[in-house]
């Protein structure tokens, strides 16, 4: 009997939906993986997928079990409540892929800070939705065959031309900002920063970017990739679009800027490998991102 590559399915943040999660697990299993459900995967403690102790235990067991990947069922909120209690000692000696986005950003940041690659990509609850089929195929090829994606995209009029070679860090803007002043504060010096966001008002986007700028997190970037900025409100009231807000706050710097990268809180949510060296080229005709 052939042992299939093991993937642990966990919910370290918000409550997950059993129907969507099981549908996603079925889809992933169909690609030749042995999906192992966390003991408290479907627990509920208010907004959270179980108590902090339960979610921590599931995640800790998963990363210690040496699977090919630990894949989050969903994001939401809750990872920051357990990040400081995770024991990474065994994992760091033999890392596996951590897959997810949104609240999982706080885990991605810790890993990127320590030079460990992870995957910003669809959660399990999206895996069973046909609209994310291409993303799941990319992830399957990456996990099983180490085939890394290469993206060639149409350019945007707001883009700023240039090239950057460095590892990528980042994820959700709110989580990036909330890392400041903590033991896992995001390290952005000489890196390409990726940012996406959902459901925020334009003035709050402005406020968070000002906080990043004041903290020196934009000053030494090699490049900036801006993904989906989904359901951003009050642009008219604030007097600036999201693109204008970003361009204003990076106007003092010369690094390349890419808008509308297809990743974040809507489809497509193309996988981005964080913590791994990549080459970003932003030209007048196209944008390319490949891993080195």
Structural tokens at position 29? 């299993």
Alpha-carbon distance 216 to 61, whole Å? 36
Alpha-carbon distance 118 to 150, whole Å? 16
Asked whether the predicted pLDDT for residue 2 surpasses 80, the reply is no
Distance in angstroms between the alpha carbons of the first and the last residue of the chain:
36
Structural domain boundaries in the chain: 6-145, 151-291
- Whether 151-291 and 6-145 are alike in CATH topology: the answer is no
pLDDT of residue 207: 98
Q: What's the whole-number mean pLDDT along residues 176-190?
A: 97
- Architecture of the domain whose range is 6-145: 3-Layer(aba) Sandwich (3.40)
Q: CATH assignment of 151-291?
A: 3.50.30.60
Q: Which residue's entry shows tokens 């642009």? A: 235
Please tell me which residue, 2 or 124, carries the higher pLDDT value: 124
> Could you tell me the pLDDT band of residue 46, with boundaries at 50, 70 and 90?
very high
Asked if 68 and 42 count as a contact pair (C-beta separation under 8 A), the reply is no
pLDDT of residue 221: 98
- Enter the pTM of the model: 0.97
Q: In what order do the strands lie in the sheet with 69-72?
A: 34-37, 6-10, 69-72, 97-100, 118-120, 272-274
Q: Helices 18-29 and 133-145: crossing angle, nearest 10°?
A: 50
Report the chain's mean pLDDT, rounded to a whole number. 97
Question: Any idea what DSSP says for residue 201?
Answer: B
Structural tokens at position 83? 């990040």
């Amino acid at each position: 009997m052939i042992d299939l590559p093991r993937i642990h399915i966990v919910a370290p943040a918000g409550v997950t939906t059993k129907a969507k999660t099981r549908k996603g697990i079925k889809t992933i299993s169909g690609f030749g993986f042995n999906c192992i459900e966390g003991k408290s995967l479907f627990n509920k403690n208010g907004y959270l997928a179980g108590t902090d102790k339960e979610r921590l235990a599931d995640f800790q067991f998963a990363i210690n079990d040496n699977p090919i990947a630990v894949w989050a069922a969903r994001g939401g909120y809750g990872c920051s409540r357990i990040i400081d209690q995770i024991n990474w000692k065994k994992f760091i000696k033999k890392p596996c892929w951590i897959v997810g986005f949104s609240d999982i950003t706080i885990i991605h940041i810790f890993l990127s800070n320590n030079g460990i690659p992870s995957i910003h990509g669809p959660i399990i609850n999206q895996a069973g939705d046909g609209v994310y089929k291409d993303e799941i195929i990319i992830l399957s090829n990456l996990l099983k065959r180490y085939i890394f994606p290469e993206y060639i995209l149409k350019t945007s009029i707001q883009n700023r031309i240039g090239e950057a070679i460095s590892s990528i860090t980042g994820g959700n803007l709110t989580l990036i900002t909330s890392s400041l002043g903590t033991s896992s504060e995001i390290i952005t010096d000489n890196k390409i920063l990726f940012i996406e966001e959902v459901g925020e008002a334009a003035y709050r986007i402005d406020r968070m970017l000002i906080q990043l700028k004041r903290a020196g997190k934009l000053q030494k970037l090699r490049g900036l990739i801006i993904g989906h900025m989904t359901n951003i409100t009050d642009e008219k009231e604030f007097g600036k679009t999201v693109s204008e807000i970003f361009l204003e706050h990076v106007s003092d710097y010369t690094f390349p800027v890419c808008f509308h990268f297809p990743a974040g809180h809507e489809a497509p949510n193309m996988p981005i490998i964080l913590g791994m060296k990549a080459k970003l080229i932003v030209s007048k005709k196209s944008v390319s991102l490949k891993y080195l």
